[in-house]
Every structure is written in structure tokens, then in C-alpha cells.
């Protein structure tokens, strides 16, 4: 590929990255209009300035689809990366848990007992600690699940010819978009485009566009017109579905159909907008540098302003109100959107710098950190199994408290040993032992070492029960056991012979 071709591709990539930035402003717009209470009820009639707010809403609804299409356009021809997945998970966790910690700390310092009473419980703590599993950020959860499936999707699409690939796209759009867009009834399988099925549909569509293009819709003028018509289609659909709702006797669901991400006009708006920006050729190097510097941070804007503790508070803080005059409301909307976007980008830029520093530190002592990570996961598993057994499963089977706790501790140890051996062998010490005999010998050595550390743990645990709570004892003794097990694994079980060391070098 010559230098001129590379420059053209870079310029067009800048157009797509500019769309990523624009789409985040659309995300802010949706949340601003909804949580700011600016959207009038269509069943009660939308008049005057309320139509402007609904037009902005209609123009922004395609933002989620745009993000997935952009990812699909790039990901279908790239390799799956565990590193990218881990960083994405850690990014979501950093915002979910980090902001929660700040709020809890502020409440503790200020003596806000009402806040602590409401939020300080096991359910809420695990909600912030496991944001992907618990749906703290629904988009992040669906998007991460989609990314995990990309190797399977890419391998499947590699075997499709153009005709078959196009047929698959049409069938998926028919089933998950066209049908629900015409019927004013709740469909049991419809998730309004918030779930994995719709994201896969968008991904497969984006891969088709990346491979074959869209011959029947191309050129900036055509795609711009298609986007505008799609937005008008969304806007006009609301009163139509209000009428249909009255006809079928349901004034709640039908009017919600045009705002679903898998509504047909929302889909066509996203595709049109993507094709429009894909054709933008940005030649100015300064503008391209700004775009490429900002676009990696826009996901942080979403994670910041949609945190559970913030999503309903920032519209109040900025004084968003439907009672304000149109000009003032639009100026406030523009100013608040820029402030939220800027704050999110700056914060995520700091997050990227911190992650980069942490990654360098991690790579400098990779084996030790891998062991700490797997050791931490092993400890968590040990705790979970212990708590479940000691305080639930064995609660009525073994009435004697200290006997029950000791049995639960043994069961937790067995589960932890099996998990620890697998993770240590694969991810930490990268054992090259193969065959039943060598692997069993290695496992026997691993188990023997864990028996030694387990005996030490049991002695310390039983003794500690007389002077402290069992959970506290598990925590303190667990730290000692992790250190002992690393020494055993490093110097005995997974120790490489001089020949193996030479091969590694």
C-alpha cells in the first residue's frame, strides 16, 4: 500500500471517528431531553416548542446503533483481543466503583446517615462492583457480550458469500426490526433494541457494509437526505402510533415504538449517518489529531454522566426545565452538553494515563501480578464458597457453629485448590507439562503444597476464631496463605529446569 492510499484511509477513518464524537453528543441529548423532563406526552398533544425537543430526540435516537455499526465496521476484519476486553471491563468498573467510592466517602465524611442507610448494603455494593453483570450500564453490558462473540461471528461470516450474507442481514432486519415497527402490540421477543440480538443484527449489517458497501445508497448528498427523511419518519411516527394505540385500546406501548433502537427508521437513520460520515475526507492534520485524541475518550462521557448516582442529578444541577423559553432552553442545552462532554473526555484522558502507567508496572512484573490477580480471584472464590456453606447450605445440617465453620472452610479450600491449579498452570507460570502422567505429577505437587498451607491455615483459623470474627480471620489468614503458595509454586511446583530456562530465553 503506497503512502497516498494510507493517507486517504486515515482521512476517512477520521470521518468515522468524528461520527463517534457526534454520536456521544446524541447520547447526551437523549438523556438531557428525557431526564430533564422536556419531552411532552404525545397522548396529551405536542405543541409549540415541544416539537423542537422531539425533533432533537428523533435526530439523536440512532446514536446507539451508530456505535455498534462503527464497532462492527472495524471489528469484523480485526482479531479478538483479550487485552482490549480486559481494559474495557476495567474501564466500566473504574467508573462504576470509583464514583460510588467517592459518594460513599463524601457521605461518611459529612455524616450523611440517610445516604449510607439507603445505599450501604450487600446488594448495592455488588451492583457497583459488578456493573456489567448487574446492568449498571445496559449498553456496556450488551456491547461487551457482543465483543466476546465477535470471533464466532467473524468466523461464521468468513464462510458466507455476498448473496448469503445479504440474505442473513435482510432476514434479521425483518424479524427484529420490520415486524415490530408495524405492529402496535407488545411482542414477547422484542427488547426494544437494548439487547444482544439487536446488537448482533447491527454487527452483521456493518460487516456487510465493510465488505461490499451499499451500492444503492452512496454519496454524501444521498445519505444526508436519507438521514433527514429517517428522522422525519421517526417524528411523524409518534402521532401515527398514538392513533393506532387508541384504535387497539392501548395508549401506553404503541407510542413508545418509534423511540426503540430497533425501530426501522432509527435503523435507517444510523446507517445513513454512518455512510455519510464515512465519505467525509478530512485533510487538515490538526483537526485529525484533535479527532483521534478525543474519540477514544467518548465512552467515558457515557460512563460518567450515566452513573446511577449522577444520571438523575446533573439535569437538576444544571437547572434543566420544560418551563424555560425555547431560546434559553436551547442555549442551556448546548452549554450543558459541551460541559458534560468536556468533563467526560478530560476525566477519561486521565483514566487512560493511569491505565497506561498501571500496564507498564504490570508488564515489568507480569508473573507476580498475574499470581496476585489469580490469587485474588481464588480468595474470592474461597470466600464465596465458605460463606454459602457456613451460613446457608450447612446451617441446619451441622448445628455446631465451630464444626460447621471448619467443614465449610475445608470445602472452600478444595474448590479453591482446583481453581488455583488451573489458573496458575495456564495464566501465571505457563506450564508446558503435557500427558496424563506429568500433569498428574504436577497437580499432586501443587496439591501437596496446598495441603501444607491448608494445615497452616486451619491451625491459624481455629485459633483465630477464639479472638476474632470468622470473616476477619479469613481475610488476615488469606494474605499469609497467598504469600506461602506463591513461594511454593515459584520455587517448587512450576520451577523450570535449566534447559527450560534456556529455551525460554
Over the stretch 10-54, which tens digit does the pLDDT of each residue have?
545 899 999 999 999 999 999 999 999 999 999 988 888 899 999
Q: How far is CA 382 from CA 325, 421, 460, in A?
A: 59, 14, 16
Write out the three cell numbers for 277: 460520515
Answer yes or no: do 433 and 316 share one domain.
no
DSSP 257: G
**What's the CA gap between 286 and 303, in Å, rounded?**
28
Question: What's the pLDDT tens digit per position in 228-282?
Answer: 999 999 999 999 999 999 888 888 899 999 999 999 999 999 999 999 999 998 8
Instruction: Give the closest residue to 42 by CA, choosing from 231, 241, 324, 180.
Output: 241
- State whether the Cα torsion 249-177-55-223 is positive or negative: negative
Place of cell 512484573: 365
Which one of 335, 362, 389 terminates a domain?
A: 362
Question: What's the pLDDT tens digit per position in 96-126?
Answer: 999 999 999 999 999 888 888 888 887 888 8
Task: Give the CA-trace dihedral at 192, 196, 198, 203, to 10 degrees.
Answer: 150
What range defines the domain where residue 483 resides?
366-504
**Residue 226: other Cβ atoms inside 10 A:** 18
Whether the predicted pLDDT of 495 surpasses 80: no
Answer yes or no: do 313 and 412 share one domain.
no
Q: How far is CA 58 from CA 29, 69, 403, in A?
A: 10, 18, 64
Answer yes or no: do 299 and 411 share one domain.
no
Task: Give the CA-trace dihedral at 416, 418, 424, 427, to 10 degrees.
Answer: -100
Answer yes or no: do 307 and 373 share one domain.
no
Question: What's the pLDDT tens digit per position in 155-208?
Answer: 999 999 999 999 999 999 999 999 999 988 888 888 899 999 999 999 999 999
Q: How far is CA 398 from CA 124, 404, 409, in A?
A: 31, 5, 13
CA 239 to chain centre: 35
Answer yes or no: do 152 and 196 share one domain.
yes
Answer yes or no: do 102 and 139 share one domain.
yes
pTM for the model stands at 0.81
Residue 499's pLDDT band (cuts 50, 70, 90): very low
Place of cell 451441622: 398
**What's the CA gap between 171 and 175, in Å, rounded?**
6
Answer yes or no: do 216 and 339 share one domain.
yes
Answer yes or no: do 353 and 372 share one domain.
no
Residue 370's pLDDT band (cuts 50, 70, 90): confident
Which one of 325, 341, 362 terminates a domain?
A: 362
Q: How many domains does the chain have?
A: 2
Amino acid at each position: 500500500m503506497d503512502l497516498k492510499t494510507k493517507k486517504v484511509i486515515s482521512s476517512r477513518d477520521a470521518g468515522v471517528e468524528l461520527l463517534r464524537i457526534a454520536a456521544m453528543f446524541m447520547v447526551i441529548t437523549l438523556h438531557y431531553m428525557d431526564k430533564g423532563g422536556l419531552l411532552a406526552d404525545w397522548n396529551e398533544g405536542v405543541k409549540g416548542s415541544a416539537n423542537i425537543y422531539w425533533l432533537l430526540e428523533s435526530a439523536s435516537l440512532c446514536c446507539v446503533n451508530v456505535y455498534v455499526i462503527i464497532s462492527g465496521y472495524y471489528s469484523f476484519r480485526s482479531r479478538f483481543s483479550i487485552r482490549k476486553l480486559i481494559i474495557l471491563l476495567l474501564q466500566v468498573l473504574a467508573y462504576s466503583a470509583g464514583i460510588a467510592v467517592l459518594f460513599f466517602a463524601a457521605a461518611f465524611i459529612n455524616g450523611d446517615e440517610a445516604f449510607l442507610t439507603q445505599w450501604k448494603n450487600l446488594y448495592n455494593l455488588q451492583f457497583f462492583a459488578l456493573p456489567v453483570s448487574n446492568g449498571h450500564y445496559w449498553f456496556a453490558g450488551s456491547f461487551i457480550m457482543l465483543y466476546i462473540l465477535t470471533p464466532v461471528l467473524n468466523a461464521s461470516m468468513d464462510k458466507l458469500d455476498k448473496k448469503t450474507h445479504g440474505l442473513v442481514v435482510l432476514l434479521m432486519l425483518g424479524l427484529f426490526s420490520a415486524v415490530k415497527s408495524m405492529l402496535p402490540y407488545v411482542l414477547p421477543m422484542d427488547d426494544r433494541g437494548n439487547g444482544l440480538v439487536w446488537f448482533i443484527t447491527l454487527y452483521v449489517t456493518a460487516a456487510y457494509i465493510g465488505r461490499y458497501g451499499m451500492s444503492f445508497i452512496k454519496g454524501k448528498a444521498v445519505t444526508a437526505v436519507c438521514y433527514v427523511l429517517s428522522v422525519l419518519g421517526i417524528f411523524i411516527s409518534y402521532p401515527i402510533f398514538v392513533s393506532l394505540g387508541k384504535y387497539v385500546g392501548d395508549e401506553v406501548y404503541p407510542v413508545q415504538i418509534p423511540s426503540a433502537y430497533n425501530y426501522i427508521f432509527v435503523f435507517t437513520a444510523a446507517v445513513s449517518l454512518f455512510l455519510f460520515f464515512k465519505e467525509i475526507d478530512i485533510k487538515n492534520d490538526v483537526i485529525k489529531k484533535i479527532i483521534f485524541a478525543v474519540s477514544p475518550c467518548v465512552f467515558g462521557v457515557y460512563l460518567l454522566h450515566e452513573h446511577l448516582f449522577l444520571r438523575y442529578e446533573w439535569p437538576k444541577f444544571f437547572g434543566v426545565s420544560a418551563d424555560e423559553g425555547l431560546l434559553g432552553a436551547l442555549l442551556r442545552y448546548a452549554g450543558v452538553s459541551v460541559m458534560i462532554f468536556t468533563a467526560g473526555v478530560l476525566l477519561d484522558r486521565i483514566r487512560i494515563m493511569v491505565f497506561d502507567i498501571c500496564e507498564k508496572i504490570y508488564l515489568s512484573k507480569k508473573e507476580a501480578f498475574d499470581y496476585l490477580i489469580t490469587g485474588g480471584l481464588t480468595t474470592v472464590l474461597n470466600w464465596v464458597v465458605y460463606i454459602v456453606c457456613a451460613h446457608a447450605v450447612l446451617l441446619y445440617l451441622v448445628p455446631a457453629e465451630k464444626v460447621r465453620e471448619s467443614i465449610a472452610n475445608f470445602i472452600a479450600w478444595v474448590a479453591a485448590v482446583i481453581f488455583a491449579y488451573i489458573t496458575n498452570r495456564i495464566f501465571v507460570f505457563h506450564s508446558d507439562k503435557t500427558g496424563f502422567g506429568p500433569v498428574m505429577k504436577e497437580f499432586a505437587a501443587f496439591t501437596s503444597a496446598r495441603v501444607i498451607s491448608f494445615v497452616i491455615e486451619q491451625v491459624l483459623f481455629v485459633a483465630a476464631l477464639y479472638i476474632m470474627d470468622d470473616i476477619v480471620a479469613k481475610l488476615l489468614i488469606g494474605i499469609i496463605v497467598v504469600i506461602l503458595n506463591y513461594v511454593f509454586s515459584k520455587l517448587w511446583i512450576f520451577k523450570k529446569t535449566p534447559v527450560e530456562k534456556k529455551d525460554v530465553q
